[in-house]
Structures are given as C-alpha cells and as structure tokens.
A = this chain, B = another copy of it.
Amino acid sequence: MDIAIIGASGYTGGDLIRLLLTHSDADVVAATSRKEDGQSIWKMHPNLKGLCELKFSNPGIGDIEADFVFLAVPHTVAMNYAGELKEKGIKTVDLSADYRLSKEIYEKTYGVEHKAYFEAPYGLPEIHREEIRKAGFVANPGCFPTGATLAAAPLAEKANTIIFDSKTGVSGAGANPSATNQYSNVADSLKAYKWTGHRHLAEMKQEIKGLGSKAVCHFTPHLLPVNRGILTTAHILLDEPMTTEEVSETYEKFYEKEFFVRMQDPVLASVRGSNFCDIAVEAENESTRVVAVSAIDNLVKGASGQAIQNMNIMCGYKETDGLLSAPIFP
C-alpha cells in the first residue's frame, strides 16, 4: 500500500515515517513539505539517515497518488485538503483538529469558520474501533485528550467531576524554535500554561460525555523538561466511594482486550517511542476521589502511532502492524 504524508517535515511526520519503516505492507511514497521541497528526508529527520531514501516533495493535492494519506498539517489547513481526498476515495487519517469536534464546537473552540465540514469518527480505537473500521476518513485525537480519555473512561459513568492535570514533553510544541521550546525556559524547570482555556478540553468533554458521563471536566496542562511524553493525572470525584481493588478491576476489565493499554505504574520512560498507554488507578481512603494516571508518548499514541493504528483498522491490517518496536528504556 502506497502512503502519502502531507506535511512531513515536523515531528509527527518524522515519527510516521519512522514507525512505517517497520510496517509489513505500507510504503511511504510521498512526504510533502513546502519549505523542504527537494531535500532528503534525513535533513530534517537525521535519525532516518540510511533507512529512508525519500526526498520531500511539494505536489498539488490533486497530484497525490497514494492509497492512503496522513494529513499532518496544522488545523485550518487540513480542511482545505479533506474534501478532495474524500471525493477521490483516498482513505485518510487527519492528525489535525479539524474533524474531531462537531462543527459548532469546533468553530467556537478554534474561533474560525469551518469551510468544509463533514462528520468523521474520532480515532480513539479503544473507544470507537467499530466506527473507525468502516470509515474512509478518521479524525486522529489530540495528544492530551488521548491520555486523558483513556485515563478516565472506565469510571466516566460514575464520576461527577474530573480534573485532568496533564504534563507534556516539549516536542508537543513542535520543531520550530520559539520561546516555548527554548532550552533554558524549560530545562530544570516547570510551568503551567493555558491554565483554564486549553482547546483540547473540548475533545475531553465530548469523549467523556459520549461514554454516558455527566461529569464536569476540567483541564490544566504543564510543560515538562522532557522530550516526549504526556502524563495525565486524572482526579476523579465519584458519586459513591470505591476501593482500589474495585477500581482496578474495573480498569482491568475495560481494557482487557486492548494491546496498547498496559495496566502498570505509568512512567513516561516506560512508553518512550512506543504506542503504549500505561495506566494505573488508586482510590483514596475515606474519600470519593480516585486517582487514575496515564502515560503515553505524545508523538506516538498521542499522534503518529495512533494514526497508524487507525490506518491498520481502516485497512484490515493487524492493529499492531508497524507499532511493535519496544519502548526505549532507559
């Protein structure tokens, strides 16, 4: 199967190529970039030297010849391409935010008009696998909502309040130099950002509600001195107290068939570079609070790996194909 990656010069583009190198059937035949047109892939992704001889190209969207497309362009840009890809019948995973929300909530959250809206399944396989299987176009979830939703999903129905306190690595801010990813602004330090108004909250609310929950959701992200990874600490306030044993069983059962969700102490280092989401859960004594923590690699389960997982489901491959390289620890 021939794959095109639209917008391949960033970190998610690089990780799509890295992971697809181990896929049994998917060949990246086009990696587009306006800025890097004509350059070897490894000029931007030096880790891939010797493994991928492709060059960046810059075709018009109509000239893309591929069996499958990953849209790895920013939000508001993806919507320019989505319609044509859909019309041409090219299966697509969109890594932008453009098709994750209803039109109304998208426009309110992102403050722009959506010029080419249609409905697409939300590409979180652990929740929406069957819709994804039938889809030609899937909206890949945001990095924070992936970790947050997986952390809270098994208890969503029993919760009245969920506070997601997330901590992300710097690669989430992209590869372009900025004050946000300037080394000395981050290293040996920590800060919160967008304390109450982060756009990803809309996805969390949609997914938690979709699970039949009435819980009020809150979200505050923090910027860690870490390359990759999101740890989400979900403080879940239940209607009725539960024991740690009860909540652990609930999670074990909820995820028992999920290869990529591992029930173990979530530590960023244990999922580095991989599509795993490690989760554990603990109930507080004499309290209705449960703490559920998830660890993902923001560029893999939070972006490129999940996109490939969605592709595998959409195209009938084994869901783990291309996603079996073990995390790197230490």
Asked whether any CB of chain B lies closer than 8 Å to the CB of A175, the reply is yes
On whether the beta carbons of A330 and B228 are closer than 8 Å, the reply is yes
| CB of A32 closer than 8 Å to a CB of B | no
Query: Of residues 177 to 223 in A, which have CB atoms within 8 Å of B's CB atoms?
Result: 177-179, 181-192, 195-197, 216, 218, 220, 222
* A117 located at the interface, meaning its Cβ lies under 8 Å from any Cβ of chain B in the complex: no
Q: Does A94 contact B (CB under 8 A)?
A: no
Min distance, Cβ A261 to any Cβ of chain B, angstroms: 9
Contact of A268 among B51, B190, B233, B283 (CB under 8 A): B190
Asked if A293 and B195 sit within 8 Å, CB to CB, the answer is yes
State whether A47 and B269 are in contact (beta carbons under 8 Å apart), knowing that A195-B282, A227-B184 are contacts in the complex. yes
Contact status A184-B170, CB under 8 Å: yes
Chain A 41-60 interface 0/1 with B at a Cβ cutoff of 8 Å (1 = within): 01001111111000000000
Tell whether A276 is near chain B: CB-to-CB under 8 Å.
yes
For residue A24, CB closer than 8 A to chain B, the reply is no
Judged by a CB distance under 8 angstroms, whether A127 is at the interface is: no
- Which chain B residues border A278 with CB–CB below 8 Å? 46, 49
Q: Closest B residue to A45 by CB, please name it.
A: B329
The yes or no answer to A18 lying at the interface (CB within 8 A) is yes
Report copies per complex: 4
Among the 9-residue stretches A133-141, A159-167, A306-314, the one with 4 or more Cβ atoms under 8 Å from chain B is A159-167
Would you call A327 an interface residue if the criterion is a C-beta within 8 Å of the partner chain's C-beta atoms? Answer: yes
Please report which residues of chain A, range 1-38, place their CB below 8 angstroms from some CB of chain B when the two chains form the complex: 11, 14, 18, 21-22
Which residue of B18, B42, B262, B289 contacts A196 across the interface (Cβ within 8 Å)?
B289
On chain A, the number of residues with a Cβ less than 8 Å from chain B's Cβ atoms is: 83
Expressed in whole angstroms, the Cα–Cα distance for A176 and B132 within the complex equals 44
Task: Tell me whether A78 is interfacial, beta carbon within 8 Å.
Answer: no
* Bound Cα distance A206, B278 (Å): 34
Cα A262 to Cα B21 in complex, Å, equals 18
Decide: A22 and B324 in contact? CB cutoff 8 A: yes
Alpha-carbon distance A266/B267, docked complex (angstroms): 25
Residues of B within 8 A of A161 (CB): 237
Cα distance A183–B267 when bound, in Å?
Answer: 14
Question: Which of B14, B21, B262 lies in contact with A324, CB distance below 8 A?
Answer: B21
Query: A264 an interface residue at 8 Å Cβ cutoff?
Result: yes
Among residues 221 to 236 in chain A, which have CB atoms less than 8 Å away from a CB atom of chain B?
222, 224-229, 231, 233, 235
23 contacts between A and B (CB under 8 A): A11-B184, A21-B324, A22-B324, A47-B270, A47-B271, A47-B274, A51-B324, A163-B165, A167-B167, A167-B190, A170-B187, A170-B330, A177-B177, A185-B330, A188-B226, A190-B226, A191-B266, A191-B267, A191-B268, A192-B231, A196-B289, A216-B287, A273-B328
Known A-B contacts: A14-B329, A272-B328. Give 12 more (CB < 8 A): A48-B326, A48-B327, A50-B259, A51-B324, A161-B237, A167-B222, A175-B182, A175-B184, A189-B268, A196-B289, A228-B330, A273-B328
Q: Which 8 A-B pairs have the closest CB atoms?
A: A184-B330, A189-B269, A47-B327, A47-B329, A196-B284, A177-B177, A273-B328, A165-B165
